[in-house]
Structure 1
């Protein structure tokens, strides 16, 4: 069977660790040339080096998606080294959780800048390549926070709701020109950031167990399980999926309450 992303050139943000790293790895293993963009350049370079050693085409670039100049420089370098981009995965983001009236003003601005505006800045930088190619794919990594509200998590769900709106608006706007824009909404996924969160509790195992008990499979998802959905949406196997969102939460969203 041929590689599912052969000939694709994929720009992945937040690619140094967690879901982004899993997506970058999966795309490379499926034949794509991959640009790993992250503020953690060292982490991105380590993974890019590993992929290159394994025979894949991979490039690491430093990129702060909240800064337009940084995005444009990173995309330009990726284009120069890999060729015109065919695919964008907007994965980079940050957790900003507050009780609304106790939230510092800077927290609101930073959350919206990274979790929503950053996806637009990257899309704006990559879209000209996709349109010139006659088509391509954008995959936005949203969250189940885009549909459900947990008290004390403001303003993160505001940004993720907006990311679904961005997905749908761009998907409709450019569909006739061959560009598909979709989102993935992960639930509880066992990323390094989530594992670090458990360690803040007096009993990390018990804290994790309480969450696992809420999930129908009795476990957290794995980054690789999100990554393969991103591969599918980036591939030519999904030509009529557009302006949509795939939820990856083990069925938690189907549970009325526990």
Structure 2
């Protein structure tokens, strides 16, 4: 049986939970070795142990993407264990939603340090190994808020707009040297964060249904649907896809009105 990522060494930041964990699972099923770079030690270690129990070569490295040195240590550990890096999925992120005029310097720094700077730290650390190895694929997790703004979510969409700029700039810089850089922009996906959001309402089931009703397919997206899109971009099936963003939202972001 041929696996789509057979032999590839893949780093997934925020890989211990949510979409990141789904990406790690999808990569593992397609034959990849997986490095789980995760801030939450318990979740990260648990995911790496789960993969290892399935016979998947895996490694957990406690990583704070907001700290460049932490990222460098993670990449160094991946290289010691596996010898090269073929794929980097910049998935780690944080929701920071504030009233613009009440946004503090710390609020702004927290959002940008994780959602934008963190991706740059990882790209900067992993790119030399990819270039030395003759190429690779970087996949940045953007958002539908990279294009369309939901009021009340400032400054999160500012960072996510920046992710698209980072993706495009790096994609053109390194395309001739074999590195492709693309983004995925999920909409509503059934992650723990969204479930917690619905649970804040007096009737969580009704809140969830309202979200479903607002989406063209009348359902919420699944984390594995994002994961399999990442598999495609990471694989040798997408050699001429570069500086692109794949939107996964069931078509919601193009709707003019409800």
Q: In the alignment, which residue of structure 2 is the partner of 1:165?
A: 165
TM-score (norm 2): 0.98
Q: In the alignment, which residue of structure 1 is the partner of 2:115?
A: 115
Whether the aligned pair in 2 keeps the contact of 1:99 and 1:151 (CA below 8 Å) is: no
Q: Give the SS at the match of 1:184.
A: strand
Q: In the alignment, which residue of structure 1 is the partner of 2:186?
A: 186
Deviation at 1:254, TM superposition (A): 2.5
Quote the Cα distance in structure 2 between the aligned partners of 1:120 and 1:254.
29
Q: In the alignment, which residue of structure 1 is the partner of 2:138?
A: 138
Quote the Cα distance in structure 2 between the aligned partners of 1:103 and 1:204.
29
Q: Which moved more, 1:10-19 or 1:38-47?
A: 38-47
Quote the Cα distance in structure 2 between the aligned partners of 1:78 and 1:176.
25
Structure 2 unaligned residues grouped into runs of 5+: none
Deviation at 1:79, TM superposition (A): 1.0
Deviation at 1:140, TM superposition (A): 0.3
Matched, 1:209 2:209: yes
Q: Give the SS at the match of 1:64.
A: coil
Deviation at 1:49, TM superposition (A): 0.9
Quote the Cα distance in structure 2 between the aligned partners of 1:208 and 1:28.
30
TM-score (norm 1): 0.98
Quote the Cα distance in structure 2 between the aligned partners of 1:255 and 1:151.
16
Q: Which moved more, 1:80-89 or 1:157-166?
A: 80-89
Q: In the alignment, which residue of structure 2 is the partner of 1:230?
A: 230
In the TM superposition, structure 1's runs of 4+ consecutive aligned residues that sit over 3 Å from their partners are none
Q: In the alignment, which residue of structure 1 is the partner of 2:87?
A: 87
Deviation at 1:217, TM superposition (A): 0.8
Residue-pair matches, total: 258
Quote the Cα distance in structure 2 between the aligned partners of 1:114 and 1:232.
25
Q: Give the SS at the match of 2:116.
A: helix
Q: 1:195-243: CA deviations, max 9, x gaps?
A: 1111111111121111111101111100000000000000000000000
Q: Give the SS at the match of 1:97.
A: coil
Q: Give the SS at the match of 1:48.
A: helix
Quote the Cα distance in structure 1 between the aligned partners of 2:151 and 2:196.
21
Quote the Cα distance in structure 2 between the aligned partners of 1:183 and 1:195.
24
Structure 1 unaligned residues grouped into runs of 5+: none
Q: Give the SS at the match of 2:31.
A: coil
Q: In the alignment, which residue of structure 1 is the partner of 2:257?
A: 257
Q: In the alignment, which residue of structure 2 is the partner of 1:8?
A: 8
RMSD across aligned positions (CA): 0.8
Whether the aligned pair in 2 keeps the contact of 1:4 and 1:31 (CA below 8 Å) is: yes
Quote the Cα distance in structure 2 between the aligned partners of 1:54 and 1:89.
21
Q: In the alignment, which residue of structure 2 is the partner of 1:156?
A: 156
Q: In the alignment, which residue of structure 2 is the partner of 1:62?
A: 62
Q: 1:119-168: CA deviations, max 9, x gaps?
A: 00000000001101111000001000000011110000000000000000
Quote the Cα distance in structure 2 between the aligned partners of 1:240 and 1:54.
33
